[in-house]
């Protein structure tokens, strides 16, 4: 216990100094309480968020952090990209979201929904608690937004796109509206799922709705029911497939670049929820090369970000969207969570480390560093 307390003090000291340095430089800190790092011990002992005991552990953790930084931090989010895990074909996503590893005999979808609902209850409790600690806190959710277009004008493609988006909206619908949507209740009944929740927990969901919607945006996808088109199958829609959009280019990992899709997403969220919106991740993974003179000429990253910032400005100025902030992903190169690669780089700062772990960890400013420094200095692009 003494070792644990010592480590806790060291960690809190690190964040004390980090937030002080940010504030000293007129930078507003934004905290995500859980970003793919639920303690491994809580998986080993309880099985992650499939177990309701984690709700109280999360609330206690949040209480500690919020009390400590109640006068330094205004903007909070509870769980990062909480809706990723609805793609239950990929075990990685429910592990990173909820610290769940499926066991023999599990219905993967049912376990995922239960873990996600437990997180939503924990989030609502933290929203209520945060408002008691500091009524001026702005506490949001964080969603992964990948808009889904119908591949053709066939009505079945349009219906498939709508139903796929429902899976992504399940979490934000509860975060914002404070109740389990009918489409989810109907699905659970149809599949004979036994999702556990109490009347008291339903009341907590109503009382702990979020102030704003934070979300990540990197790309869009298209969906079709056409037999002759190959693609990735969609859960619950055996005839539907995720396919590439022929009108969009892609990065080296196949993520399709769609700045108009960001404007589309902002409008979609604004019309569905009428809440302030906050883009908290947006960027382009790319291979970066150091030139002989030590520079990194990442014009492709500048182009990507410039196009997406223009789309944001159009959503604000032409569409009336209430967009309160933007933070790109990311400032510095780190290992990509999705592929485990260091060489899939997003940052404005290059880190000398390769996929095998070789390198000096030296930092180098890319061309995009100076460009984005100018963007934030003038709070946007020159019109």
Q: Is there a contact between 149 and 221 (Cβ–Cβ < 8 Å)? A: yes
Q: Which of 281, 291, 314, 362 is catalytic?
A: 281
Q: Is there a contact between 212 and 140 (Cβ–Cβ < 8 Å)? A: yes
The separation between the first and the last C-alpha atoms of the chain, rounded to the nearest angstrom, is 57
Q: Is there a contact between 312 and 266 (Cβ–Cβ < 8 Å)? A: yes
Burial class for 60, CB neighbours closer than 10 Å (0-12, 13-18, 19+): exposed
Q: Is there a contact between 19 and 66 (Cβ–Cβ < 8 Å)? A: no
In 3-state terms, what secondary structure has residue 67?
Answer: helix
Based on the residue annotation, tell me whether 281 is a catalytic residue of this protein.
yes
Q: How far apart are CA 288 and CA 336, in angstroms?
A: 14
- What is the CA 125 to chain-centroid distance, rounded? 20
Look at phi and psi of residue 9 and say left if phi exceeds 0, alpha if psi is from -120 to 50, else beta.
alpha
Q: Which residues are catalytic?
A: 281
């Amino acid at each position: 216990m003494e070792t644990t307390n010592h480590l806790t003090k060291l960690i809190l000291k690190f964040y004390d100094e980090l937030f002080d340095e940010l504030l000293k430089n007129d930078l507003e800190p934004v905290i995500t309480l859980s970003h793919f790092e639920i303690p491994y011990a809580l998986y080993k002992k309880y099985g992650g968020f499939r177990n309701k005991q984690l709700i109280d552990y999360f609330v206690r953790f949040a209480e500690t952090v919020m009390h400590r930084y109640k006068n330094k931090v205004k903007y909070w989010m509870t769980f990062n990209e909480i809706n990723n895990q609805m793609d239950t074909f990929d075990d990685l996503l429910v592990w990173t979201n909820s610290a769940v590893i499926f066991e023999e005999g599990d219905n993967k979808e049912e376990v995922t929904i239960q873990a996600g609902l437990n997180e939503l209850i924990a989030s609502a409790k933290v929203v209520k608690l945060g408002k008691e600690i500091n009524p001026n806190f702005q506490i949001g959710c964080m969603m992964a937004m990948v808009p889904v277009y119908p591949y053709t004008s066939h009505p079945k493609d349009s219906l498939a796109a709508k139903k796929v988006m429902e899976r992504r909206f399940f979490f934000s619908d509860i975060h914002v509206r404070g109740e389990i949507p009918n489409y989810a209740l109907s699905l659970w009944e149809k599949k004979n799922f036994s999702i556990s929740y109490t009347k008291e927990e339903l009341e907590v969901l109503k009382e702990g709705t979020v102030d704003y919607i934070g979300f990540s945006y990197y790309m869009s996808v298209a969906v079709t029911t056409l037999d002759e088109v190959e693609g990735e199958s969609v859960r619950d829609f055996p005839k539907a497939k995720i396919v590439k959009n022929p009108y969009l280019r892609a990065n080296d990992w196949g993520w399709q670049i769609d700045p108009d899709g960001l404007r589309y997403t902002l409008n979609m969220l604004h019309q569905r929820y009428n809440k302030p919106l906050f883009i908290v991740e947006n960027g382009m993974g790319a291979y970066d090369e150091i030139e002989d003179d030590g520079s990194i000429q990442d014009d492709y990253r500048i182009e990507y970000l410039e196009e997406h910032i223009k789309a944001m400005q159009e959503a604000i100025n032409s569409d009336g969207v209430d967009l309160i902030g933007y933070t790109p992903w990311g400032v510095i190169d780190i290992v990509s969570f999705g592929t485990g690669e260091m060489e899939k780089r997003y940052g404005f700062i290059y880190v000398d480390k390769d996929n095998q772990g070789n390198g000096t960890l030296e930092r180098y400013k890319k061309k995009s560093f100076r460009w984005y420094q100018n963007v934030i200095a003038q709070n946007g692009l020159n019109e």
